[in-house]
Structure 1
């Protein structure tokens, strides 16, 4: 067994096609098929269901695939760690982020890119629970999420402020005269919201319920981009974080502050306390602390 065989297996999972997987790995299709059969022979397992074309993975194949992902992550981390021990900060930083937060992740990514041009970034939109799980399994390096259920024995955290909210709307379809909106004034406005279960959505629901209000959004999505598209189309307005520049995405978008509107829990940047923890992760976490932590922290 070697790393290339595991890469071939993961490429097949990504493309679901033998020819495309071979192209992705820069080998011929017969080479890829031969190396995967050799892996099956070594493990004495059938990993891939084959017909005239790729038909999926067997149950054993799915289990081996999960291990292959873990091993390749460790392999990439080992290579980056070796470079970092030599004084180079290289490799991929995997950051999980909740969909809507008052922290623009580019405020961290941009200075890191400027200081360490060999770095690469993988940004993933996830729930807080998924981020905690990803950090625990070493599938993420850093997480940007809510801190209300964080065990500080397991994670180091840079605490940020709670997220303030405003109403994002398109001025071609909606106009507001007041300088600041109230929750009561939003009850009859067509709203687009994140899907239920997301922490940001729960904070909004709590704010409405505490005032005896029960709005019914006309559109729900787990994609921030789709919510912004709906706002730009005049379908609805959306309760979004303030001070992240969403209103600058086009000339017609406006953001109105909402009185007393903020998430129920503060945000934070997390790093796992336990090993394996790469020098790359530790350095980027300290850079984040210098960028976001208060001067007297």
Structure 2
């Protein structure tokens, strides 16, 4: 059985569209369709339900998909192990990061590159649930995500830091003389926040509810860059992890304040799939996580 046929099948299941799957595999659509048909003939089972277009996987296809994903991952692991035996790990390490952890990516990337100069890092911004799913489907090698709230299953985790929330308002909006922010005055502002599909928002809402508060944002987004852009433009305030606050130059447009009654900090860390043998890329990610020298702005996890 050719590995390429399994790659066609996995790509089609992921993309849900023949043309997009063919583009992802760098082949023509007829080539991909012929490859899927050849795989079905070899297995003696129909894997894909289709009628001029992709409809979905058959029951046999759903059952076969995890094995195809694992087979591809094992071959990739074999190749990386052989490369590493020569003393230099090559290839691409695929990292998924929740938006709240994006400032940590820089520290991780520098540490990873020092130990593996020939390795390429590919970073995707994903939700915590998407990271867990992508790890299980062998579409990621590692993830940066929350460890305690909705913790991912079947992973090895390295705690990195404890996230603390900061209030951000535009200078001149009434907070210039404040040293901290109180929840009632913050919740009275026209807030822009992450949408409810993001785990950071779900943690935030749960903490608010535990203290008898609720929030009704005037705008939502899936990116802290978008939230900060709204605040800078005027008319909004927001709440961001301390790592983002550290990226805003001192004395600039923003007024950044801690909360006078902060909610419990949330642990963030690196996770890789718990499997044996562990891939060389997962091992490199774990080693980088253990070796990161964090700045003082991050609280210890």
TM-score range, shorter chain: 0.7 to 0.9
Matches within 5 A, 1:99-178: 99-101=99-101, 104-128=104-128, 131=131, 135=135, 140-148=140-148, 156-171=156-171, 174-177=173-176, 178=178
Deviation of 1:188 (Å): 0.5
Give SS of 1:143's match: strand
Distance in 1 between residues matched to 2:26 and 2:137, nearest whole Å: 30
The equivalent residue for 1:182 is 182
How far apart, CA to CA, are the structure 2 residues paired with 1:107 and 1:280? 17
9 and 141 in structure 1: CA distance in 2 versus 1, 3 angstrom threshold? closer
Are residue 2 (structure 1) and residue 2 (structure 2) matched? yes
Is the Cα–Cα contact under 8 Å of residues 204 and 263 in structure 1 kept in the other structure?
no
| Unaligned runs of at least 5 residues, structure 2 | 296-300
1:129-164 per-residue CA deviation (whole Å, 9 max, x = no partner) reads 55456556655433323333699x965443333212
TM-score, with length taken from structure 1: 0.77
Q: Say yes or no: does 1:16 pair with 2:8.
A: no
Residue 243 of structure 1 aligns to a residue whose secondary structure is: helix
Distance 1:28 1:187 in 2: 53
Aligned residues of 2:69 and 2:138 also touching (Cα < 8 A): no
TM-score by length of 2: 0.76
SS in 2 for 1:161: strand
Q: Secondary structure at the match of 2:87?
A: coil
Q: Take 1:247 and 1:212, find their aligned partners in 2: how far apart are those partners?
A: 31
Q: What is the match of residue 287 of structure 1?
A: 288
Give how far 1:261 is off.
2.9
Confirm or deny: 8 A CA contact 1:102 1:164 kept in the other structure: no
Q: How many residues align?
A: 290
Rounded Cα–Cα distance in structure 2 between residues aligned with 1:32 and 1:219: 42
Equivalence for 2:45: 45
The answer to which of 118-127 and 237-246 deviates more is: 118-127
Q: Say whether the 8 Å CA contact 2:49–2:58 is kept in structure 1.
A: no
